[in-house]
Amino acid sequence: MGRYTVKTEGRTRPSVKAYAEEAHAELLAAMAALDTPDAIDRAFDAMLTSAERRDIRLRWLIFKMLAAGMTQREISKVLGVSLCKITRGSRFMKTSRDIIEQMIAISSRTNAPHSTNKTGDSEK
């Protein structure tokens, strides 16, 4: 029996973890293949609740503000969110700053299709 298999009723089948890892890889490949921001936005709309989309937008704003050198307290005041929420973003920035800065650089070279208000909600 492999690392990601389980035995039930005498049969061996992939575990939930194996299915999840395969689905994760497929999702990443599918998202990478989308060729426009609109297509990615439509995919997010199909997969995420409005609260999840709002949380992702807010996290992105926090990343951008941290990368620009704003303090956590300044960000909290501007966005009206708790320091705890900003600290989570800050911790991630410490371990994955390179990819976040790469994404910020890419976004600064492209025109954002929508403006965003202070809570991260799109204004379409």
Q: Give CA–CA dist 70/49, Å, rounded.
A: 29
Enumerate long-range contacts of 54-58, CB under 8 Å, 24 or more apart.
54/119, 54/120, 54/121, 55/120, 57/116, 57/120, 57/121, 57/122, 58/85, 58/119, 58/120
89-108 pLDDT, tens digit per residue, is 899 888 888 899 999 998 88
Tokens of 112: 């954002």
Residue 114 forms beta bridges with which residues? none
Averaged pLDDT, 65-80: 95
| Residue scoring higher pLDDT (116 or 105) | 105
State pTM to two decimals.
Answer: 0.69
Share of the chain above pLDDT 70, in %: 81
- Cβ-contact 112, 47 below 8 angstroms: no
| Residue scoring higher pLDDT (95 or 7) | 95
Query: Residue 50 pLDDT more than 80?
Result: yes
Query: Comparing 6-10, 19-23, 77-81, which segment has the lowest mean pLDDT?
Result: 6-10
- Cβ-contact 65, 78 below 8 angstroms: yes
| Residue scoring higher pLDDT (29 or 13) | 29
Question: Counting Cβ atoms within 10 Å, is residue 95 exposed (0-12), middle (13-18) or buried (19+)?
Answer: exposed
